[in-house]
Structure 1
Amino acid sequence: MQNPGQLPLADFQLRLTRQLLESYNVPKTIPRTLNTSKHQRLTGRHFPAMVPNKKVRRCIVCSQSKIRDQKKRRDSRYMCNECDVGLCVFPCFEEYHTKEMY
């Protein structure tokens, strides 16, 4: 017979699992579509700018580059206002605006 305040082990495990999932559940972010055409990206006048409100953005070059050791998510405080993407100032800003594949 059980004590009135105790749960069966299976119920306890289920309740604990649900609580853990609720507290650590992080919604998946949906990738933004890029507004800039390849032609505009390669020929326009683009200058680095700080990301507003002291936030950061993921560098699109570092995140997609297979040349570097592996894909890495790198956050940057800089972005291209014209293309509306996060970029490291060096070397990613130049690479993004001079290479076709990004």
Structure 2
Amino acid sequence: MCLLNAYILCKTQVGESQQPSLRQFSLTVVTQLLQKFGQVTAPLPRRHSNTFPDQLKAHAYMEKHFAVPLPPSNARNVGLGHCYICSHTTLHPKRRKNTSYRCHKCRVPLCIVPCLKEFYTDQVLIVTVESVGKMRN
């Protein structure tokens, strides 16, 4: 708000031909403030499209892996399995937790929250899921 008020005052004081745009005025004010009170640094280089952050890699990996209901068994209408994260890892206290969902691609039973996300974002678990998926196929 202060910057806009300063811009309006500047427009009234400067002649018609010398009036900067609001963007140019803002850049000038910020540059002058940084020169006086801070450090002016060069702008950071842009990322190239072939360098992805880890989150995007995990997102691309998870697009292939999504939760589906476990198929019903002979004795039940709803399929149940033991969550792999809850019963086989140290990420949570070890317990036998039933879930009715599994990964579509790997066919590994997992709790929807938070185990599904943890299973595919932890690098150690990604290696594990690939070996478990190969064993189940």
Q: TM-score, normalised by structure 2?
A: 0.40
* Structural RMSD (CA): 1.7
Q: Greater Rg, structure 1 or structure 2?
A: 2
Structure 2 equivalent of residue 19 of structure 1? none
Code of the residue aligned with 1:50 in structure 2: it is P
Higher relative contact order (CA 8 A, sep 6+): 1
Following TM superposition, the consecutive aligned residue runs of length 4 or more in structure 1 with deviations greater than 2 angstroms are: none
Structure 2 equivalent of residue 48 of structure 1? 67
Question: Structure 1 regions of 5+ residues with no counterpart?
Answer: 1-41
The alpha-carbon deviation at position 71 of structure 1 amounts to 1.0
Count of aligned residue pairs for this structure pair: 60
Code of the residue aligned with 1:77 in structure 2: it is S
Higher share in helix: 2
* 3-state SS of 2:124 partner: coil
| Residue among 51, 54, 61 paired with 2:85 | 61
Q: TM-score, normalised by structure 1?
A: 0.53
The alpha-carbon deviation at position 67 of structure 1 amounts to 3.3
Higher share in strand: 1
Structure 1 equivalent of residue 97 of structure 2? 74
Structure 2 equivalent of residue 3 of structure 1? none
